[in-house]
Homo-oligomer: A and B are copies of this chain.
Amino acid sequence: MKIIKNPTRNTWGELTKRPIQSYEAIEATVKLIFKEVAVKGDAAICKYADIFDGVRLENLKVTEAEIQEAVQQVSTDLKAAIQLAKNNIERFHLRQKSIPISLETMPGVMCWLEKKPIQKVGLYIPGGTAPLFSTVLMLAIPAQLAGCTEIVLCSPPDLSGKINPAILYAAHICGVTTIIKSGGIPAIAGMTFGTETIPKVYKIVGPGNQFVTGAKQFATQFGTAIDMPAGPSELLVFADTTANASFVAADLLSQAEHGKDSQVVLVSTSVSLLQKVIREIPRQLAGLPRQEIVKEALRKARFIYMESEIEALDFINEYAPEHFIICASNEAFFIRGIQNAGSVFVGNYSPESAGDYASGTNHTLPTNGFARNYSGITLDSFQKTISFQKLSPEGILAIGKSIEVMAAAEGLEAHKNAVTIRIKALQNEKS
A contacts, CB < 8 Å to B: 23, 77-78, 80-82, 84-85, 87-88, 91-92, 95-96, 98, 101-103, 105-106, 109, 111, 113, 116-119, 129-134, 166, 202-203, 217, 220-221, 223-225, 229, 244, 246-247, 250-251, 253-254, 256-258, 284, 287-290, 294, 335, 338-362, 365-366, 368-376, 378, 380, 384-393, 395-396, 399, 401-403, 405-407, 409-419, 421-422, 425
For residue A119, give the distance in angstroms from its CB to the closest CB of chain B.
Answer: 6
Q: Across the interface, name the chain B residue whose C-beta is closest to A372.
A: B202
Ranked nearest first, the 4 interchain pairs of A and B with the lowest CB-CB distance are: A105-B360, A81-B405, A202-B373, A346-B390
Complex copy number for this chain: 2
Q: Across the interface, name the chain B residue whose C-beta is closest to A78.
A: B409
State which of B250, B371, B419 has its C-beta within 8 Å of the C-beta of A351.
B419
| A389 B82 Cβ-Cβ under 8 A | no
| A130 B410 Cβ-Cβ under 8 A | yes
Measured CA separation A414–B283 after assembly (Å): 13
| A389 B359 Cβ-Cβ under 8 A | yes
State which of B77, B353, B391 has its C-beta within 8 Å of the C-beta of A347.
B391
Q: A425 contacts which chain B residues (CB < 8 A)? A: 244, 246-247
Q: A390 contacts which chain B residues (CB < 8 A)? A: 345-347, 350
Given A347-B391, A391-B359, A221 and B217 touching (CB < 8 A)?
A: yes
| B414 A254 Cβ-Cβ under 8 A | yes
Q: A290 contacts which chain B residues (CB < 8 A)? A: 411-414
* Main SS at interface, chain A: mixed
Measured CA separation A334–B184 after assembly (Å): 40
Q: A355 contacts which chain B residues (CB < 8 A)? A: 387, 389
Q: A350 contacts which chain B residues (CB < 8 A)? A: 389-391, 396
Q: A360 contacts which chain B residues (CB < 8 A)? A: 103, 105, 109, 111, 389
| B78 A92 Cβ-Cβ under 8 A | no
Q: A23 contacts which chain B residues (CB < 8 A)? A: 221
A117, A294, A371, A409, most chain B CB atoms within 10 A: A409
Query: A78-B405, A109-B359, A253-B414 given. 17 additional CB < 8 A pairs?
Result: A80-B402, A81-B401, A116-B339, A166-B409, A223-B368, A223-B370, A257-B415, A290-B411, A341-B386, A344-B387, A347-B392, A348-B422, A351-B418, A357-B403, A375-B386, A378-B385, A380-B380
Q: A84 contacts which chain B residues (CB < 8 A)? A: 399, 402
For residue A102, give the distance in angstroms from its CB to the closest CB of chain B.
Answer: 8
Q: A402 contacts which chain B residues (CB < 8 A)? A: 80-82, 84-85, 357-358
Measured CA separation A362–B111 after assembly (Å): 10
Measured CA separation A21–B225 after assembly (Å): 17
| B384 A371 Cβ-Cβ under 8 A | yes
Measured CA separation A256–B418 after assembly (Å): 12
Q: A366 contacts which chain B residues (CB < 8 A)? A: 384
Given A92-B103, A223-B370, A351-B418, A131 and B411 touching (CB < 8 A)?
A: yes
| A411 B81 Cβ-Cβ under 8 A | no
Measured CA separation A105–B95 after assembly (Å): 10
| B78 A105 Cβ-Cβ under 8 A | no
Measured CA separation A413–B212 after assembly (Å): 26
Measured CA separation A257–B253 after assembly (Å): 61
| A406 B129 Cβ-Cβ under 8 A | no
